[in-house]
Amino acid sequence: MTSLVLNVDRDNDYGEKVGIEGPVVGYENCYKAALKLITYDPEDSDANALFGAIKHYEELFKKGESVEIAMITGDSDVGPVSDEKIGKQLDMLFSEGGIDDVILVTDGAEDDYIVPLILSRRKIRYVNHVIVRHNQNIESMYYYIVKALKDKGLINKFIIPLGLIFLTYGLVSFGFSVYEAVTKAAVLNPGSFAITLVTIVLGSYMVERGFEIGRSLKNLLRAVRDYAQETRVVFLSYVISASLIFVGIASSYVITSADHVTPLDGVLIFLSLFVWWLYGAFFALETGSAVEMYINRNFNGIFRIIYGLMFSLSVAFILFGMLNYIRYVLSYISFSAAIVSIFFLVLGLIIAMLSSMVHRYFAERGDITGIVQSGSNTSENK
């Protein structure tokens, strides 16, 4: 009868910190893994738990029992993702047979999650908890809190709602305190204001941990940096395009506000002006892509960009003409001004039809060329 001394690293500290992925099987391999992790992070409890499993294995081996030892890892995304990986590694360990039961050696924090996964495959002989000696009550409490903050299910159920409650209460209380101080309706109470700040900080921390805002920002900044290094021209065109959109919103709003028109007419004027800024942003974006394609000798892509610019120009003409024609229908502008709008509308339709015909012509020509080349290649092969 062979027992498996098993240690489980559910949050994958071994993989995240020292690049060791489970399953790790055998005394020597487990010892090297534990030594590597504790050298990298002496305070990590997973290394102590694995050393505890190694010590327990040695004790059973000296007694003459038939035992094996292994360590499996989960994932930093603690929850269904990590448990699925643990399940696959358990199947790998038990696939060769020879294991009758399991001796689970853990730090005791996540037995409720790990035990059912093992019981669905093998029976558990017993569970041995390893807790580092210092102040066990304080350390265990700290450890449970840290582990809880990594548990996705617990975060979604408790941490995020509590964080939102604390943050909302803190912000509302802060707003009232500032209002009372400015209007001199009441004297600012330092004690209450301190509690308000603590509530805001605590709520912000819980929300950040729940939604992983810090990690998302780091990933976004890293992606932007990598993207900017790989495609400098395209990245610059994105910056210019975004700038044109913001400038267009501000410019259209200023011009619309200066006309002193009705709200509906103001919306129509704003949209008709913003159409050209939006097209300018699209033009800058596509021009950057065309330059990048020219550098990479991708001339077919440049043709598609030219077609896209022509078609989007026709859409801009149509939208501009249609919005101003609606203003004429609603009696906001005169018929003479509406004639210009109709001209833009017709011009946009003409450009759209011409660009579609040209695109279809070259697309069919490309298909015919491809068929001819395919036929010639077939003949040569024969």
Residue 209 in contact with residue 155, Cβ under 8 Å?
yes
DSSP SS3 for 174: helix
81 lies in the same domain as 41: yes
What pLDDT, in 10s, does the model give residues 61-94?
999 999 999 999 988 877 788 889 999 999 999 8
172 lies in the same domain as 302: no
162 lies in the same domain as 203: yes
91 lies in the same domain as 190: no
∠ Cα 140 142 143 (to 5°): 60
Q: Name the domain boundary from 101, 128, 147.
A: 147
- The total of structural domains in the chain comes to 3
141 lies in the same domain as 10: yes
Q: Let me know if residue 217 belongs to a domain.
A: no
139 lies in the same domain as 250: no
- Extract the tokens encoding 1: 């009868």
284 lies in the same domain as 252: yes
C-alpha span between 100 and 68 (Å, rounded)? 11
Instruction: Please list, in sequence order, all residues whose beta carbon lies within 8 angstroms of the beta carbon of residue 170, skipping any fewer than 6 positions away.
Output: 196, 197, 198, 199, 200, 201, 202, 203
C-alpha span between 22 and 353 (Å, rounded)? 61
What pLDDT, in 10s, does the model give residues 12-58?
889 989 999 889 999 999 999 999 999 998 878 888 889 999 999 99
Supply the pLDDT for residue 352: 82
Helix (H), strand (E) at residue 365: helix 335-381
66 lies in the same domain as 141: yes
| Preceding peptide of 263 cis, ω within 30° | no
What pLDDT, in 10s, does the model give residues 267-308?
888 998 999 999 999 998 888 888 777 766 666 677 778 878
20 lies in the same domain as 142: yes
Q: Let me know if residue 376 belongs to a domain.
A: no
Other C-beta atoms lying within 10 Å of the C-beta of residue 97: 7
Q: How far is CA 347 from CA 67, 311, 354, in A?
A: 84, 12, 11
177 lies in the same domain as 249: no
User: What's the mean per-residue pLDDT of the chain?
Assistant: 80
Supply the pLDDT for residue 132: 60
180 lies in the same domain as 302: no
| Percent of the chain predicted with pLDDT > 90 | 21
Domain range spanning residue 54? 3-147
Q: Let me know if residue 349 belongs to a domain.
A: yes
Q: Name the domain boundary from 106, 127, 147.
A: 147
Instruction: Give Cα 36 distance to the centre of its chain.
Output: 31
What pLDDT, in 10s, does the model give residues 169-215?
888 888 877 777 777 666 667 777 788 888 989 888 888 877 778 77
102 lies in the same domain as 169: no
What pLDDT, in 10s, does the model give residues 123-156?
999 988 876 654 445 445 555 566 566 556 666 6
